[in-house]
Chain A
Amino acid sequence: MGAPANDALQPALAIDPMVVDAATRAFDDLAAKWLAGEPSSAKRAALLEAVVALGFADALPAPDGREAWLDAAAIIRAQAQAAAPIDMALLLATGDRAGSIAYDPGRYACAATAGAAVDAAAAAALALGRCLQISGAMAAALELSVQYVQDRKQFGQPLAKFQAIQHSLALAAEEIAACTAITDLALACAAREGIAAARLPALLDGAAVVANRAVDVVYDVCHQVHGAIGFTREYALHRHSLDLLRWRDALVLLRGGELRAAERLGDRAIGAGGVWRAVTAQMKPEISA
């Protein structure tokens, strides 16, 4: 373009969300920093519990707050992507282990109530943690599916060669991108303006609405392209897809249900005199970088 490239322009959110190794190292660094000594599995679990369940802002000390937030966010997402063996928050609240094949939607209403009862800020942090987990698990489910359709041959060629398969996976990728974008927007808001930021609840309501749909699409597409093998206990897809169902329930119920989240956003649009006015206001930082 004619105007000179602007090197000074920096993203508001500079995490590479999907680098599992780097995030795991960061996790260990954090554990070492805050828990002293070598990170043991118990310490890791304790930190994860603090980070996810209590609202990761509160769990981390203030001085380098923003950086710590982003580290924590990367960890949560990466742990989710790797279908981390224990989701302490859910384990405590529901007795479920992440990656297990149990799915009982009734349990999450209790978990959500428990989360929301702590206080609004903790509920917001918890919702944000859920959004990050969901975006991580969706990415993992998609990656597994992409790998599978390249390996699996039918009619003499890999499934990936079929346009119907390509387009299904493209749709899933698009929903994931949207869900990840609004999650990152909420994260950027929380990291800079704090968990009590006035515009954060609307972003989290939006994330719940977008995630609710994205999870449906990903759950549908990723299982469909896998065929029957994805529906077994021995194959790994359920580790991500059932996590998605659990975390989606937990997120949506934290916002009082998808319907309530949507209604609140609708009321904001009506109050602002239009959807467009509400959207631009919601996306305007209250504190500049």
Chain B
Amino acid sequence: MRFHFPIFDLPPETEALRAEVRAFVAEELAAGRWQRGGDFASNYDPAFSRRLGERGWLGMTWPRKYGGHERSMLERLVVTEELLAASAPVAAHWIGDRQSGPLLLRFGTEAQRETFLPRIVRGEIFFSIGMSEPDSGSDLASVRTRATPAKGGWNINGQKVWTTFAHRNDYAIVLARTGEAGATRHAGLSQFIVDLKAGDVKVRPIVNMAGQQEFNEVIFQNTFVPEDRLVGEIGNGWHQVTSELAFERSGPERYLSCIRLVEAALQAGGGTPAPRLREALGRMSAKLVALRAMSIAVAALLQKGEMPNLEASLIKDLGNAFEREQIAIFRGLMPELAAPGAEYLGALAETTIYSPSWTLRGGTREILRGIVARGLGIR
């Protein structure tokens, strides 16, 4: 095989952490602070994010001097997988914790780290990703939003789209053109931290097929960005964006989106569960074990300082296809359930409606398979 997923065990001390997260979730649910539902991109609850911050579960792997907790990638994985398995409302902090923070740690200035990271860790500020545009979806190198030098900084003109929670988040990290694309088309791109609340950014809602406003159009008309909000180097945006893909694509959010439906079906199965339900639960858990082993492998490799982008893309495609298949299977089981109640039906409706977005966001199925093919040496 040309892909390598070495087997790592979660260190024994992570079991105490897992128990802690499970107890916290149980306590939150018992207190009625939130209901299970949605996923990492839809269930938004700033107060919950702040409570996670108080527990030390945001920015877990970051250095202490920026408010982080210097815990391992595997400890972070334990917390994120338990929150996702509980369908907890993690959307507010998700992007900042997973992506924007690590980006600033890797490429940001010292001042940027000191300004933003401690507030992400406390659950005080939330981030959006500013990549897609009306004419630039999977073909990210074609972005047309442009940043031009202005006195003391940059003026940004252009438009982003599908910007999740831009109407509630505080900042977006915007990929913009600052120079010529060059032969590879990857040159001349740069990243900027844009203040979404500054008043010179227009955010317009796009209501999704579930009837929810989660994503937005974001329009920049001479939006001024001070010099010190440039992330990394001018023209290095492509490298910076693509270097984070292993973080973005390998996590449990890529194979646990259907877990609420599956657990609800299990609960609705009654005292003598139908053989078909037992069989479906078994197949689900078998593949989940394989995917989780692969995901743990990537987290461990990241901890060791490697960047397994290829393996991460493979996990996302496999995981997303698995998630979507589970919905069909567990929908078919409805007549086999003793008591298909509100939890099962609600989860079925939600996962069914949202599932097309799973194989689009964060790298479409087609892009991912292309990356895997490149890994095989045939592209």
Question: Contact residues of A with B, CB < 8 Å?
Answer: 1-3, 5-7, 9, 11-14, 17-18, 139, 142, 146, 149-150, 160, 163, 165-167, 169-171, 173-182, 184-185, 187-188, 203, 205-207, 209-210, 259, 261-270, 274-276, 278-280, 282-285, 288-289
Contact check, A180 vs B286: say whether CB atoms are below 8 A apart: no
A139 to B311, CA, bound (A): 16
Q: Which residues of A contact B288 (CB under 8 A)?
A: 275, 279
Residue B203 lies at the interface, judged by CB distance under 8 Å to chain A = no
Question: Contact residues of B with A, CB < 8 Å?
Answer: 1-3, 5-10, 12, 15, 18, 61-63, 66, 68, 70-73, 85, 102, 105-106, 259, 262-263, 266, 269, 273, 275, 277-294, 297, 300, 302-305, 311, 314, 317-318, 366, 368-370, 372-373, 375-379
Contact check, B9 vs A2: say whether CB atoms are below 8 A apart: no
Besides A2-B66, A275-B285, 5 more A-B contacts (Cβ < 8 Å) are A163-B370, A184-B6, A206-B286, A279-B288, A285-B9
A181-B290, A182-B293, A274-B266 known; A11+B285 contact, CB < 8 A? no
Contact check, B279 vs A206: say whether CB atoms are below 8 A apart: no
Q: Which residues of A contact B275 (CB under 8 A)?
A: 263
Contact check, B7 vs A11: say whether CB atoms are below 8 A apart: yes
Chain A's nearest CB lies how many Å from the CB of B262? Answer: 5
- Which of B7, B85, B291, B375 is close to A173, meaning CB atoms less than 8 Å apart? B375
Contact check, B1 vs A178: say whether CB atoms are below 8 A apart: no
Contact check, A266 vs B282: say whether CB atoms are below 8 A apart: yes
Complex A-B: 27 CB contacts under 8 Å: A2-B61, A9-B8, A11-B6, A11-B300, A146-B377, A149-B378, A170-B369, A173-B2, A173-B376, A177-B3, A177-B5, A178-B287, A178-B291, A181-B293, A181-B294, A205-B282, A263-B278, A265-B283, A265-B286, A266-B273, A269-B282, A270-B266, A275-B262, A279-B288, A283-B292, A284-B10, A288-B12
Identify the interface centre among A167, A187, A207, A266: most chain B CB within 10 Å of its CB. A266
Contact check, B290 vs A206: say whether CB atoms are below 8 A apart: yes
Contact check, B293 vs A265: say whether CB atoms are below 8 A apart: no
Identify the interface centre among B70, B105, B266: most chain A CB within 10 Å of its CB. B266
A149 to B378, CA, bound (A): 8
A276 to B257, CA, bound (A): 12
Contact check, B379 vs A160: say whether CB atoms are below 8 A apart: yes
A181 to B1, CA, bound (A): 11
Contact check, B7 vs A205: say whether CB atoms are below 8 A apart: no
A262-B282, A266-B279 known; A279+B3 contact, CB < 8 A? no
